[in-house]
Structure 1
Amino acid sequence: MSRLSVFGTVVAATIVAGLLLGSASAAEKFSLSPDISNRVRASKDEAAIKAISPDFKFVTPGKFTVANNPWDPPIATYATDAKTVVGADPDLAQLIADALGLQLELVPVAWEDWPLGVSSGKYDAVLSNVTVTEARKEKFDFSTYRRDVLGFYVKSDSKIGSIKEPKDVAGLKVITGAGTNQEKIILEWDRQNVAAGLKPIEVQYYDDRAAADLALQPGRADVEFNPNATLSYSSAIKGGTKLVGTVSGGWPLTAEIAVTTRKGAGLADAVTIAINDLIKDGKYGEVLKRWNLEAEAVEQSATNPAGLPKSGS
């Protein structure tokens, strides 16, 4: 995953505050209400249902038991009742459950607990921003549903219009997260720039979302480079920033997020078919649009595509 762990609950708290203080339209669009009756729903997908292996046994008959780590909006977080899990991943889990003709049983779990839970058959799947890697493919099957995207965000009136490659950040003051994929990428871009005789960047680190905002708006920083999902959500809620470029979380390789199931269990192909049909009928797009994640959409789901390589390979 390419998530900024140090922001954690501070990001969630800041965004919830933004909901309370922001415009009525934004609050309605990104409601963290525990009322999930307005979730996008789908019809049964007979092709997907037929693709489920006859040997696969659901944890609870008639239910699709999905593990999810409610770590950050808009991907997944707790609603205002501190119990109900809401966000893009829970909404997509609901669509897949509908397509498979099942009732969704969403189980909040700590990030560290899902691998054993899926491997042992405690959960049918995990849908929680899991990136496909070659190491994980040794134990799990994957059905991709979103691109792992990092975003470059600047203040709304910034003269920076586009960031696509290393030279575009030369000489800029860039906020990013310490010890993250995005830090590794921006430092490599800086190394390439310096080697090419371009101006070095100034990397800035902040411990919380509010501090980063306070640096960006008055111009003490030029750009923030962190997970697109949280920055996109914050931009839509509070305004004041705009997206000027994206990079794969696995740069220079492409990284994808996937529904994760037990290796060889016989469920992955069915999930992939369901996702592709949801893409075709527009339900998938509705969910991403609802949570401002259109930039992370995939054109087609794939079962067990090439994942990020093992460390050192």
Structure 2
Amino acid sequence: MARFAAKTGLTAALVATTLLGLAACSDPGATAATGPGSTSSSASAASKQFNLSPEQDRIKVEVDSAAAAQVPDAIKADGKLTVVTTGGTPPLSLFASDNKTLIGSEVDIAYAVGGTLGLEVEVLPVAWADWPLGVESGKYEAVLSNVTVTEARKEKFDFATYRNDLLGFYAKSDSDISQVKEAKDVAGKRIIVGSGTNQEAILVRWDKENKKNGLEPVDFQYYDDDSASQLALQSGRADLTFGPNASAAYKAAQDGKTKQVGTVDGGWPLKAEIAFTTKKGNGLAVAARTALNKLIKDGNYGKILDRWGLSSEAIPASELNPAGLPKK
């Protein structure tokens, strides 16, 4: 069994690396993920079947003349929208069962935006560390890879938002825990969280508040891998997991073994949003925002998120360069 460690309160941070991963401000490939084609035969009757084949039968969209008119001439020239994503993070972007075709919610959004703009779409895999230079240099027109809007990134990139950046609390599907909304709801709970992550920092602050108010402390639990953490949850050694919502929502929908009992903004106490990210000043983000708002209005946006189990992260409207998370 994988090495296990636990702590209560504010003991020293563990060295253990965790696959529960960082929130969306960083490489989405760091989050825990279920591999392509891994739908379990033991999934519960409540499980959702995801299409992980190369033949995706994506949502059909129509060209919107107003959005297409906003596409910069430099991109109209070849009629192609080249988008990059990192892959490896279901349900955001992953490789299909053929291990070469990129699929996922980010990929679907890319095709839907491109189609609405009247452009041919090409989605390419790229390492997280490589997208900033690639987009800034013009090698790629956009990145859709769980990129959170930050004030630091706004110095080099423009953003059209398309999803809330959420962290999620998940419990075993038959757990008595039904809601986690604030600090008092985690008092005395045994919670699996990633060491050194945004979510751990939030939980530490909540725990301090609870102890100040005379409530029971959180039992912080850390695991070396996702399989061990899920075993702990299912066996009753832990009450909750707390991490990036997208991967946890996908897993819950896929196997029916866990349920969402609460979400928190990824930048808590500040709002955080995921965005279609382009080179600053090239005008593409303006067109992307118009396309996204068309997709939201006609319902295709909602269908895409629902297709991948991400309806809880939907936004009512796309915004251009909203306030981002502050510089650290």
Q: Check if 1:144 corresponds to 2:161.
A: yes
TM-score by length of 1: 0.93
Q: Check if 1:300 corresponds to 2:320.
A: no
Q: Check if 1:30 corresponds to 2:50.
A: yes
Distance 1:72 1:114 in 2: 16
Asked if structure 2 preserves the Cα contact closer than 8 Å seen for 1:7 and 1:209, the reply is no
| Shift, 1:192, TM fit | 1.1
Amino acid at match of 1:75: L
Amino acid at match of 2:33: V
The equivalent of 2:281 in structure 1 is 264
The equivalent of 1:11 in structure 2 is 33
Q: Within 5 Å, which residues of 2 pair with 1:228-239?
A: 228-239=245-256
Distance 1:275 1:178 in 2: 35
Q: Which residue, out of 52, 68, 74, partners 1:49?
A: 68
Distance 1:99 1:9 in 2: 30
Q: Deviations over 1:212-246 (max 9, x none)?
A: 11111121101111111111111111112111110
Percent identity over the alignment? 53
Asked if structure 2 preserves the Cα contact closer than 8 Å seen for 1:6 and 1:207, the reply is no
Distance 1:74 1:219 in 2: 27
Alignment CA distance shift 1:214-1:18 (3 Å):
same
The equivalent of 2:12 in structure 1 is none
The equivalent of 2:123 in structure 1 is 106
Q: Which residue, out of 236, 243, 255, partners 2:260?
A: 243
Asked if structure 2 preserves the Cα contact closer than 8 Å seen for 1:6 and 1:208, the reply is no
Alignment CA distance shift 1:69-1:298 (3 Å):
same
Amino acid at match of 1:47: A
Asked if structure 1 preserves the Cα contact closer than 8 Å seen for 2:28 and 2:146, the reply is no
| Shift, 1:19, TM fit | 4.2
Aligned length: 306
Amino acid at match of 1:188: R
The equivalent of 2:244 in structure 1 is 227
The equivalent of 1:40 in structure 2 is 59
Q: Check if 1:2 corresponds to 2:36.
A: no
Q: Which residue, out of 211, 222, 225, partners 1:205?
A: 222
Distance 2:131 2:200 in 1: 26
User: RMSD of aligned C-alpha atoms?
Assistant: 2.1
Distance 2:171 2:27 in 1: 21
Q: Deviations over 1:151-172 (max 9, x none)?
A: 1111111111110000000010
Asked if structure 1 preserves the Cα contact closer than 8 Å seen for 2:46 and 2:256, the reply is no
Query: Could you say what secondary structure the match of 2:34 adopts?
Result: helix
Distance 1:50 1:7 in 2: 35
Amino acid at match of 1:220: R
Q: Check if 1:120 corresponds to 2:134.
A: no
Asked if structure 1 preserves the Cα contact closer than 8 Å seen for 2:27 and 2:128, the reply is no
Alignment CA distance shift 1:298-1:62 (3 Å):
same
Asked if structure 1 preserves the Cα contact closer than 8 Å seen for 2:82 and 2:122, the reply is yes
The equivalent of 1:285 in structure 2 is 302
